Amino acid sequence: MAAEFDQYARDYKNIINKYAAASGESLEFYIELRIRLMKEALASVGALTPTRILDFGCGIGVTEAHLRTHFPHAAIVAIDESEESIAAAEKLGLDNVRFAVSRDASPPAGEEPFDLVYSNGTFHHIDHARHADTLRTLRRATRAGGRAFIFENNPFNPVMRYAMWRSPIDRDAHPLRPGYPARIVREAGFDAHGPEFYAFYPAALGFLRPTEGLLHRVPLGAQYFVWGAARS
């Protein structure tokens, strides 16, 4: 996966925006949407504002700028297999954000446990045989009671499948059926909530988006997420 993403580091944003345009939105719109959903989920269980955040599969670091805004006092560590992506991310110069190359989901040596782990669109690029070990590694990096959020594309949404097939970044990916991440997250030592679906309407139907909260169990949204607390 590292070599695959090295070649896209320079044009990553442009590629994602090209295929996100089918929805009338941008990469930044979906980053903000995911963070909002994550914050709402944390608030629903009375979780404290995270002070240490790990982003697994951070790519070129676009998400970190948004996390920095929403969690201004948190220390953020962002890891990825792609050396070129990490090099691009480091050029952002974000305060209190550490970027590092990681081949196995492990944070840099010496890092304290995290109370929030975030991963978007990473697991469908990882061989399924590695999923269990990857999640166990993330569990070891999470403090007891800390939360992990796994965001993925929904293979049951035809528009999403078409966009992934067209995109050079995702063409060879293996989308995860929504029930699968909840199972492997649970087996790795987290409680599991979800899947919860979102991104049902394109921008042209934005006036309907307030109803999405009623549809989060309907498996037709373009994306979904699974989340849970690390068990003791």
C-alpha 156/C-alpha 221 separation (Å) is 8
Q: Choose the weakest-confidence range: 47-51, 133-137, 169-173, 195-199.
A: 169-173
In tens, the pLDDT along 178-188 reads: 999 999 999 99
State whether residue 196 is helix, strand or coil: strand
In tens, the pLDDT along 53-103 reads: 999 999 999 999 999 999 999 999 999 999 999 999 999 999 999 999 999
C-alpha 43/C-alpha 49 separation (Å) is 9
Record the tokens describing residue 33, joined without a space: 């949407």
**Portion of the chain with pLDDT greater than 90, in percent:** 78
Predicted structure pTM score = 0.94
Look at the block and give the residue holding tokens 């993330």: 138
Angstrom distances, CA of residue 170 to CA of 173, 193, 197: 5, 26, 20
Distance from the first to the final alpha carbon of the chain: 32
Nearest to 79 by CA among 93, 61, 62: 61
Q: Please enumerate, as own/partner, the contacts of 45-49 that have beta carbons within 8 Å and a separation of 24 or more.
A: 45/229, 47/147, 48/115, 49/73, 49/74
- pLDDT in the model for residue 32: 96
C-alpha 117/C-alpha 52 separation (Å) is 9
Nearest to 80 by CA among 50, 59, 53: 59
Provide the pLDDT confidence category of residue 105 given band limits of 50, 70 and 90.
very high
